[in-house]
Each structure stands twice: as structure tokens, then as C-alpha cells.
Structure 1
Amino acid sequence: MDRSVTPVWEKNLFLGAWQLGEGEQVAVTEPATGEVISHLMTATPADVDRAATFAQATQQQWMNVPFDQKAEILRKAAALLKERAEEINGWNTRECGSIAPKAAFELQSTYEQAQMAAALPMQANGKIFPSTTPGKRNYWTRVPLGTVGVIAPWNFPILLAMRSVFPALAMGNCVILKPDLKSAICGGALMAQILEDAGLPAGVFHVLPGGPEVGEALVEHPLVKMISFTGSTAVGRKIGETCGRMLKKVALELGGNNAQIVLGDADLDIASSCGAWGSFLHQGQICMQTGRHLVHQDVAHEYIERLAARARNLVCGDPHQEQVHLGPLINDTQARRVEDLINRSLEMGARLVAGGKRNGSFFEATVIADVTPDMPVFAEEVFGPVAPVMVFNSDADACSLVNQSPYGLAAAIHSGSTERALKIAGQLKVGMIHINDQTVNNEFQVPFGGMGSSGNSGRFGGPANIEEFTTSQWVSVMAEGIQYPF
């Protein structure tokens, strides 16, 4: 981060191109130290209207760009992600509290998303259906929606924004991105620079950092034809209600309280490793975090001991200054919330096995045993480095415990018998299940999404992107017109 040069985002917004902003300039604070590391120009609802109007004027031209040229721009964007890895990962570490391996993983995943999206424009985009009328042809095709609004979170700000931005652009849409203010440089401004330098035409992509009022303006704007939202279930419900009233397409990827089931025949070394990774990666601030460890009574004691030993070995500290396993939570407010969930659960009879201490925004990797379904650490999405363990007696009991949660994002099952695990998987009401693995899985070519309170069945990834970021159109053709009785 070169402090001798004023970054373009301090005074400007990317409204299809960099323009002087008229909103408020806010400080960008490093979670680990509280230091102000930059400033950021924020958008206003008026900027949403400016962006939507510009996008509408540009979209038809962008839609008509040949597929190979769209693909070339996306491949160039992918190459620039790699070329600027040091800068992007540095901002991810300082702005979001990411440890270096997490930042590198996120950037690599975003690169893969760009490469995948570059292949989309060349795919077949329709079908020909037969007709009962002789000589008639029925063409059914996928066409762009127009302008897509993307509202992204702060925890994986680059990946969770660009997994919608890249395919939406590939399918001929314009995009307005509203990154979270806590991650708007790495997850917004740097991505605007990437796409601009890759040759994306002016007006096709916009970045509008801001608070709830900017998000509301984006959701409610009549020229924005789809909203892709990743964030909390509470906010997602409000967005879904607005889009439903406006008959606007919406993809909601929401919260999760994901379970890892450990059966009596599981390999406990592997299961405890997966459990630690699933619960403690990025301080547990992941929608796919392993929030509930359901362990068969025959192996519960041994599993808890192994999981606790792994937790005690994890070093917590400032990822910008030292090599650590856990960085800070995004802010003190979130750290205090995690502390409160733990304390209330301990008061109800849970047992602290490892960790449990908070130091400002830093929180130790924590293992809690003797958990019951009514305890806050079991019932709520913690979004912190906490592994609550509950014991079950039978496969049916484990399935019931998983399905009693309103969330349905991800689950993991550990067993020496894949057939037994597959049978359990068939009974779980979740969108993604991983056998002998952990819950935090993402592959760019596989459709991703949840059920229940974890989403509205929107899917991201691979061929699902074609349907997600387009709508269908039927065109019938007759060589000669028909004479009807009227």
C-alpha cells in the first residue's frame, strides 16, 4: 500500500468509470489494530439512479458484443487478478482480517470463477421445440435480464461478489455492485480497476459502496431487473419481500448453522481435522462454518479431546504482522456477540473445553461440550471460532437434530461406510452435503446454494449461472402467415 499516492477511491466512485463522488468520505479501519488505513468515497441513493440509468443505456450494446470478445475481457480480468495478487491479498489481510492463506485461497477461487465465466458466452443458449402447426419453428433461448444488482458481504468480499458479477457480465448483463463498507476496497474498488483495465466498456460495471439506504435504493430501482444477495437471513427476507412485490428476480444466499455428523465408525483423526477447519477457518466467519458438531455417544469423548487439542494449537494474532492461524473478528461488536453466546450457553450447563477468551476483536478457537439444542451456541449462527459439540444415539437422532434447524446450507458426514453416509445424506434437508469432508466447500464448476432459511434455491456456479443470470424468451417463426377465422 503506497501511502505517497492518493488512491482513486478516496474521492471517486466507479459509476461505469471513475467519477468525482458527492457522498460522504469514510475511514477504512484495520480490524486487528483499529488503525485508519485508507478513506473511501461512499455512494448515495442518487448514485444508484445514475448508475442504473447509465447501465440501461449501455446494456444493449454490451449484449451485442460477440461472445469471443466478452470471453477475452473476462480472461484478461483473470490474468490481472494473478498479476495483482500481492496488492489484493494485502488489502484482504488488512481490511478484512484475513490470514494470508485465506486471502490467497479467496483470490485463487475468484480467478477460477473468472475463467469459468469466460467459457459461458460460447455455450448453447437455447432449444428448438416442435410445433403442432406445419412449417412453424419454436425457438426458446436464454436472454440477458438487463441490469443485475449484486449486494456482497464482508467475509469473502472478492469471491462472493465476483461469483455473481463475472457470470452476469458473461451473459450480457450490466452489473451494479454494492460491496459492504467493511470490505469495499478489496471487494469493490480493486475489482473495478481490474475490469476497467481488462477492457470492459464504460457503463457496464458500477461499484457503489454504502450502507442500507444504498442497498434499499438498488433493490427498489425499477431499472434493476435482478438482485443477487449474499448475507444474513434477516436482510435477505426483506430483500425477497421487496423483489416479490416488484416481480423482480432474486437470488438469495443466506446464513447457515451447518452440522458435521460424526458416526461411531468414523476416522476420528480426519473427522476432528475437518471439524477444526470447518469451525475455525477465517475465525468462523463463513456462512458454511461448521456450527454444530453432532457426535455419536460411543466416540464423543475421544472426538472432543482431539478437536480441543487442535483448537489449543491454533495461534491468534494480527495476520499483517505475524504468521497466525486466526486473525481478528471483523470488529469488537461481533467479538462481544460471540462472547455473549458462549457465556449464556455456559450458564445453561455447557462445558468449556478449550479457548473461550476474547481480547478486543480477537477470539481464541473454542470448543464447547455438553451442548443441548436450546443453547444459543447450538440454535444460532455464531459466526465466530466456536465448535459446539452435542452427542446423539442413533442415525435417526442425528438426522432429526440436523433438520430441526431452519437453516439448510451445508452438512458433513463422517463414516467408515459410504453407503451408510449416503443413506443419511438422503434424509437431510440441506443444499450441500460432503461425506468424509468438512462443510466449507466451494468448487467453481458445481452449483452452490442452500434450502430453507439459507436461501431461496438460487444457485451459483457452473451451468447454473446460465439460468440464474438470464431469463427465457420464446420466438416462433412462420415462413408465411396464417389466415385465422376472425
Structure 2
Amino acid sequence: MSLLASEDWSRRALAEDWKVLTGGQIEVTEPATGQPIGWVSRATAQDVRASASAARRAQKAWAALPYAERAKIFRTAAALLEANRADYAEWIIRETGGIQPKAMFEIDSVLHLCHEAAAMPTQAQGCVLPSAADVTSIARRVPHGVVGVISPFNFPFLLSSRAVLPALATGNAVLLKPDPRTPVSGGVLLALLLQAAGLPRGVLHMLPGDAEAGEALVTDPDVAMVSFTGSTAVGRRVGELAGKHLKKVALELGGKNSLIVLDDADFDLAVSGGAWASWLHQGQICMSAGRHLVHEKLATNYARRMAEKARVLPVGDPFRQQVALGPVITQQQLQRVDRIVRESVAMGARLLAGGTCQGPFYAATVLADVTPAMPAFREELFGPVVSITAFGTDAEAAALANDTEYGLSAGIYSRDVARGMALARQLDVGLVHVNDQTVNDDGTMPMGGRGASGNGSRHGGPANWDEFTQWQWMTVRGTPPAYPL
């Protein structure tokens, strides 16, 4: 049976049970058509408070559950997800505006994360420390208690799961607040999946909402840690509130990522990678290439080839048409992308393709001769724009790439791997790929950035233990010592 038909979730949220919350309804809109495709219940601060209290009560029993039983839930979730792939993909396509391969990538990634989560309860969770002969000294990882997760709109199913699954696997209860633009893909789908897999009642709460719910989650006394993925502006506010309340916070924020094409690069592969890095999901990815830094010997041909690609890429409704680019998520974001392009052209950038929109659809766009003073160079685009800047030396490429407050991802193309690695070591980023583009993800790697791209926190692989648990020191003596006082 379809998981989407297994519970009456419409116009509700998961707060121990599926129920109508106190904040009214959120209308779920299909960005390609502007039409409503569903409703969920909106959480208020009052609802967050009640759920946080309930999650804290449920967490101890969940953490005490035998590890084999906890692991089985995640394996069951993976099997259920595989069986519901088509229904889940339809919601991701319609709600996010992504093309079908993007939806399938999300589903495949979450399948991987389910298996990773299933493995975590069986992993070593501490170590024995040196100590005196009559003392056993242990350092062990223990859950925080209740973890709050605030996830974004662009890859909602994946980016909610990336935090929720390891947080649960390490013994925490979770409050999940998905982006109000994608509450089904970012919240309902995961809640239904884990509920059907046997997750105990009260361990996961899924609370769609706006800034009121988000601030309540960050400041609630029962929430010990917050994982936030989203814009740098909102991330600064989350970090400020979390710090004020002495909470651990993991921030994965925006990026102004550089794709560097050296003069000895495989030109065709660099063009292919560059197109993928800026136009995948309309460029609405934190790791998208916001700058194409191309050696001056190649820059003219690179711009020409990109423009040729841009002019033939089909743009439209990904649910009803075979397209390469879908809609920009909101009219506000589309206007922001258009402003950046227009202002950069007014300052001297050459518009070689695109720069136009029809309804919610923005054409694949190419800007050449972009300088560091232009908005296309400085601002995070989050739209389908290739912004090309030429450089003369490797040192100049490194300086241009580092000329930003962000520090998330970078890609370098060069046939000389040693040269590429030498350049990579100069870049102030959390992720760097030699002979690949900037958009790479894998549930086994530590994902995160520096500077305005994040606070140094990481999600994925070994970093999950660092983020979702904390050290506890325990000593055990056979006989209590006698003290001189």
C-alpha cells in the first residue's frame, strides 16, 4: 500500500500523532503552475513547546532500545522507500520544481542514508582511556537528547533526512521543521516513512511552520541541539539565538562556489561539468557554481560553448514535459536572479544567452566578462546563470576564488593532477574536487563549509558522531578512594 495513503496526513502535522495544529493551514503550491496541490497544518510556538516536551519524554526509551531493534527500523524504512519510489518522486517533482532525475537522486541518496543510519547503532561509541591500575576510564558518545532540524526547499527530502536519520540513529528524538514551501517533500514523506517502519510514537515530530515556529524550536529549553540548512542570513539569526541559549548548532549555509578551468584542462569535460554545476535544478543548490573562473586562453571559447548549450536547453514544467530546467521556486527569487543579471550587464558584463523569463521559468543564462565588482561575481545567485571571469595565472585564480565571504565548494579542471591539488590546497573551502565540478554529495562524506557558508559543522559519515552526540567521561573504581579532608 502507498505510504501516502496509509495515514490521514492532509491538513495535519505529526505531533506524536497526526493532528491539526493551532496555526491554521499552509497551502502547498506547485511552482510550475502556481496551483495548490495540498495543505498541511501550521505549527505555532505553542505547538513547538508541546512537541519538544513530548519528544524529551520519549527520547530516553528510544535511546535505551536494543541497538538491533533501532537498526531494523532504518532497514525497514529503506525497503518501504524503494517500494514507494514513484509516489515519492511525483511529490518531489511537483513541489520543488525539479526534473525527474533530480527527484530520483534525492530518493537514491535517502536510501543510502537509511542504510548508513542502520549501521550506526552497531558502531563503536567510545574508547577506553589510560588510567591508574585500579580505575577504568571510559570516554563514550551519548545523545544530546532532543535535536531540532530546520531544512530548506531545494533538496527537501534529502536534506531533512541527512540530519534526521543520523540524529535518530544516535539515540536522539527529533523535531523537524521543513521549509513551508516544501512541507510534504521535506517533512510528510519522511515522517510517513519512519512511522511505517516502526519508529516509536513521539520520537519524531514533524512541524511545518514559518519563522515563529523556527525561532521557538531554536530557543526551546528541551531542544539541546539545532541543525539548520538554509540561507546565510537566516543562519546568522539561528546561530545568534542558539548561542544565546548555549545550544550546539550546526549551520550549513549558502555558497559562492568557484569552478576553475586551467589552461591544460580537458575542455569538453570542463564545459560539460560547468553546465551541470550551474544549471542543475535551476542553480538552486548551495554547491552550484556561482563563478566560472576560466584561463584567459580558453575563456572566449568556453563562453561560446556555454551559450550554445544554453540556447537549446528546454525549460518548462518538469511534471508534464521533458525539460532540462524547471521553475524557479518563487517569484521573489526569480526577480532576485533577474536583478543580479541586469545589474551586471549594466556594469559591462556581456549577456550571451538567456537573461529572460516566462512565468516562473528563467532561461539558462550565460554572462561573460564578469568582474569582481559585479553582483554576478559577489552575490549568491541561486538561479540558472553561468558567470564567467577570466584569469591569467594559478595564483590569480586562487585569489579570485577566495575573494568572497563564503567557503563551501570548489572544482578544478586540469590534466596535471599535481597542479590541481596544489591549487586546491590554497582554497578556503570545506569541499574541493580536482577534475570535477562543484556539486557533489555523498552520505559518507563530511559535508559543510567555512565562513558565511557555515560554522565549521559537518553532516555525513564520521562527522555525524561529532554533531549528534557528545562526549561523556566515566570512571569506575572497585573501591572508593579515601580523601585527606
TM-score bracket for this pair, using the shorter chain length: over 0.9
Q: How far apart are the structure 2 equivalents of 1:7 and 1:115?
A: 25
Corresponding residue for residue 46 of structure 1: 46
- Partner secondary structure for residue 149 of structure 1: strand
CA contact (8 A) 1:31 1:329 kept: yes
1:62-461 map, 5 Å = 62-131=62-131, 133-461=132-460
Q: How far apart are the structure 1 equivalents of 2:101 and 2:11?
A: 31
CA contact (8 A) 1:163 1:461 kept: yes
Q: Which 10-residue stretch deviates more, 243-252 or 146-155? A: 243-252
Q: Which 10-residue stretch deviates more, 222-231 or 90-99? A: 90-99
CA RMSD of aligned residues (A): 1.4
Q: How far apart are the structure 1 equivalents of 2:27 and 2:332?
A: 17
Q: How far apart are the structure 1 equivalents of 2:222 and 2:5?
A: 37
Distance 1:478 1:168, change over 3 A: same
Q: How far apart are the structure 2 equivalents of 1:37 and 1:20?
A: 18
Q: How far apart are the structure 2 equivalents of 1:56 and 1:334?
A: 37
Q: Which amino acid aligns with 1:95?
A: E
Q: Which amino acid aligns with 1:267?
A: D
- Partner secondary structure for residue 156 of structure 2: coil
Q: How far apart are the structure 2 equivalents of 1:454 and 1:295?
A: 23
Q: How far apart are the structure 2 equivalents of 1:332 and 1:236?
A: 22
Distance 1:7 1:137, change over 3 A: closer
* TM-score normalised per structure 1: 0.98
- List 4+ stretches of structure 1 deviating above 3 A: 4-7
- Partner secondary structure for residue 77 of structure 1: helix
- The Cα offsets for residues 389-428 of structure 1, whole Å up to 9 and x where unpaired, read as 0000100000001111110000000001000000000110
CA contact (8 A) 2:96 2:329 kept: yes
Q: How far apart are the structure 2 equivalents of 1:402 and 1:450?
A: 14
CA contact (8 A) 2:256 2:404 kept: yes
1:61 aligns with 2:55: no
Q: How far apart are the structure 1 equivalents of 2:101 and 2:26?
A: 29
Shift of residue 449 of structure 1? 0.9
Q: Which amino acid aligns with 1:217?
A: A
Q: Which amino acid aligns with 1:156?
A: F
Q: How far apart are the structure 1 equivalents of 2:11 and 2:355?
A: 42
Shift of residue 5 of structure 1? 8.0
Identity of aligned residues (%): 51
Q: How far apart are the structure 1 equivalents of 2:46 and 2:343?
A: 44
Q: How far apart are the structure 2 equivalents of 1:277 and 1:142?
A: 40
CA contact (8 A) 1:329 1:363 kept: yes
CA contact (8 A) 1:9 1:41 kept: no
CA contact (8 A) 1:269 1:306 kept: no
Q: Which amino acid aligns with 2:45?
A: P
- Partner secondary structure for residue 43 of structure 2: coil
Shift of residue 81 of structure 1? 1.4
Q: Which 10-residue stretch deviates more, 311-320 or 388-397? A: 311-320
CA contact (8 A) 2:63 2:171 kept: yes
CA contact (8 A) 1:10 1:25 kept: no
- The Cα offsets for residues 188-236 of structure 1, whole Å up to 9 and x where unpaired, read as 1121111110000000000000000000000000100000000011111
Q: How far apart are the structure 2 equivalents of 1:312 and 1:66?
A: 57
CA contact (8 A) 1:273 1:310 kept: no
CA contact (8 A) 1:176 1:207 kept: yes
Shift of residue 6 of structure 1? 11
Q: How far apart are the structure 2 equivalents of 1:134 and 1:38?
A: 65
- Partner secondary structure for residue 8 of structure 1: coil
Q: Which amino acid aligns with 1:92?
A: I
Q: Which amino acid aligns with 1:27?
A: E
CA contact (8 A) 2:371 2:389 kept: yes
Distance 1:7 1:321, change over 3 A: farther
CA contact (8 A) 1:370 1:390 kept: yes
CA contact (8 A) 1:157 1:183 kept: yes
Shift of residue 139 of structure 1? 0.6
Shift of residue 484 of structure 1? 1.2
CA contact (8 A) 2:157 2:189 kept: no
- Partner secondary structure for residue 319 of structure 2: coil
CA contact (8 A) 1:89 1:107 kept: yes
Q: Which amino acid aligns with 2:176?
A: L
- Partner secondary structure for residue 181 of structure 1: coil
Shift of residue 21 of structure 1? 2.5
Shift of residue 19 of structure 1? 2.2
In structure 2, runs of 5+ residues without a counterpart are none
